[in-house]
Every structure is written in structure tokens, then in C-alpha cells.
Amino acid sequence: MRNLWAPWRMEYILGKREPYCIFCPEGDGLSDEERLILYRGDLTMVMMNKYPYNNGHLLVAPWRHVASIEDLTEEEMTDIMRMVRECVQILRKVMRPDGFNVGLNLGAAAGAGVESHLHFHVVPRWEGDTNFMTVFADVRSIPEHLRQTYAKLLPYFKKEKIHEAV
């Protein structure tokens, strides 16, 4: 028998959460690398999901702490959607997925893990990436460590290069 190790998931399983909003600019004094932030724009940010559904699972959020899509300004909404599009383009280039799930969970009943700060999910998908482990054991097989994926994607999210890379 072979073991599948995903030790970073234990924090999530045990319900441990950061004592600060992971999407707000301050981030409890942690570095962008520690927070897995790939991009800091004037209005929005992009970070990797610490508890991903798949390799390359990104989160796009406004810097402003808002819970509802109706509370976004037109400028924030435009910037978020522009970044969602750029995330798809970068992931398509770097990771070559067969498709994407892009979505927004508003409220705890809809599955929002951080319901007080709106954020979009950009999840690359590959043919056959759902297997028996997810169905029967509620376990996902993530073939690349988060830090490796972060290092692979970071050059494409450098603010001065973001428009050249896509």
C-alpha cells in the first residue's frame, strides 16, 4: 500500500483558521510569500488557495473588506474580472489545464469559507482529475506542493510583467 501525504490539509480539517482576514492588505505582518500572494494591484490581489481543490487553485479578491458583490464599486468589479481573466490566461500558459471552474461563493450557506470578504475562485481542471479518493474518502490528490506551484506562477504575476506574460 502507498501513502498519500497532504499535511497542510490537517489545519483545515481541524478547523484552525488564521486570526486575521487572509484577504486584507495587512495580513498580520506576514510576507506575501508566507501568505501565498502572487499579485498586489491597487484594488485587487491574487493569492493561492492554502487548501486547494486542485493544483493552481487561485483566489482573486478586492483589497477592500466587503462581503457582498453589491458592495463592490464598478472599478473594483472591473478590476477583479480583469484579474480573473489574467489568472485563467496565466494558468492556461503555465499549467496547461483542460478547463476551469471559476466562481464566487456568497455566504456560508453557499460554501464561502471566508464569508466576510468576497473572493473569486479560479480552479484549473484536467480530464480525469476527479477520482475515487475524492468520491469515497473526501481526499484530493494534489501532485505538486503549494510552494512549488507558487514559485512556478510568481514570475507571471509580477506587477510590471503581468500584461507582457499573458
Q: How far is CA 13 from the centre of its chain?
A: 18
The whole-angstrom separation of Cα 150 and Cα 88 is: 15
- Give the residue numbers marked as catalytic: 119
Determine the straight-line distance between the first and last CA of the chain, rounded to whole angstroms.
42
Buried b / exposed e along 108-147 (16+ C-beta atoms within 10 A): eeeebebeebbbbbbbbeeeebeeeeeeeeeebebeeebe
